[in-house]
Chains A and B, each alone.
Chain A
């Protein structure tokens, strides 16, 4: 791994492509769950890797490369969220009625797919806190800083998200 990072730092695009293949799933998962809109998630994933390329010289050897990439991705996601031009897509209303139908049946065990789609239907604020806290494992004080909200709001949004998800998944 370090070998590829070093080569990429020296400008080797093929090595960087290898890095992309290794990490794209992790980055895309974050972008997709945070942004929901698939097109925006793809853009954010691409922006992340372009940013990673330009900032490769700031990566310190000996530290965890995957955590470093994840931090870059999170910064890209959060920065984009603050940009007014894309806000409409972040706050996108659910316009496809089919998506409002819960895919789960009471008689069948619910799947990860049900949970993912229920997460996607959450209001943006609740969804982003839920993803950062329950999926990615951040603390409320960290989330508060990242999302520019208070820790109390972060907690309230988390509880709201969990309640909405429980309701959606048992419908």
Chain B
């Protein structure tokens, strides 16, 4: 005769398929005669069933990719070749376009982040965005110019591919990669935490650095 003592453990084992023939029969017999254990049994079974229906995937609350990408030192030589740009060979002097875009971008960032009173401070002294759209629209406009210029650079690069030394080519490509990455990083930071002035300072400095690299890259092809 089986009692309720230790029955909970055996009910768990029973449901997990860990009981052999005799043990299994004992539990079954006890369940037929004991309402309390039957209730426990049903509750464990229900819990197991609910657990088995939990989603396999949970989306993280924020985009974790930028933080991963920053830590991939090995993945540094592949360019973000966007489709179509090869055919869009621009007749305009590409270096002038690039410089103009860089200037525009610096100006936009300075205006947005460095200019006095471009947005008001909240009561706690923490800066508050009046509306996200003003900043994002301006930045997106600057980004469009920036992307157009880098497209021109890539088109020019592709056209001159045969003329350049492999070393120069590698340097230019590396710089382009950094620029592409910087743009993505800036956006991810901005979208994640748009009202943190510290982020703004950090990525303004980063943008300056990238633009210097961009200028360096723009000079390289003419040297060979």
Contacts and interface: CB of A to CB of B under 8 A. Distances in A.
Interface string B59-75: 11110110111011011
B48 interface: yes
Interface of A is mostly: helix
A45 B9 contact: no
Given A14-B78, A20-B68, A112 B55 contact: yes
B57 A25 contact: yes
A59 interface: no
A46 to B, nearest CB: 5
Range of interface residues on chain B? 20 to 34
Interface in B12-70: 12-13, 43-44, 47-48, 50-62, 64-65, 67-69
Interface in A14-71: 14, 16-17, 20-21, 24-26, 28-29, 32-33, 38, 41-42, 45-46, 49-50, 53-54
A160 to B, nearest CB: 10
Contacts of B163: none
Contacts of B80: 14
Interface in A146-168: 155, 158-159, 162-163, 165-166
Interface residues of A, number: 39
Interface centre among B50, B52, B64, B71 (most CB of A within 10 A): B64
Interface of B is mostly: loop
Contact of A45 (B12, B43, B64): B64
B132 interface: no
B78 A29 contact: no
B193 interface: no
Contacts of A134: 48, 51-52
Interface of B: 8-9, 12-13, 43-44, 47-48, 50-62, 64-65, 67-69, 71-72, 74-78, 80
Interface of A: 11-14, 16-17, 20-21, 24-26, 28-29, 32-33, 38, 41-42, 45-46, 49-50, 53-54, 110, 112, 115-116, 134-135, 155, 158-159, 162-163, 165-166, 169-170
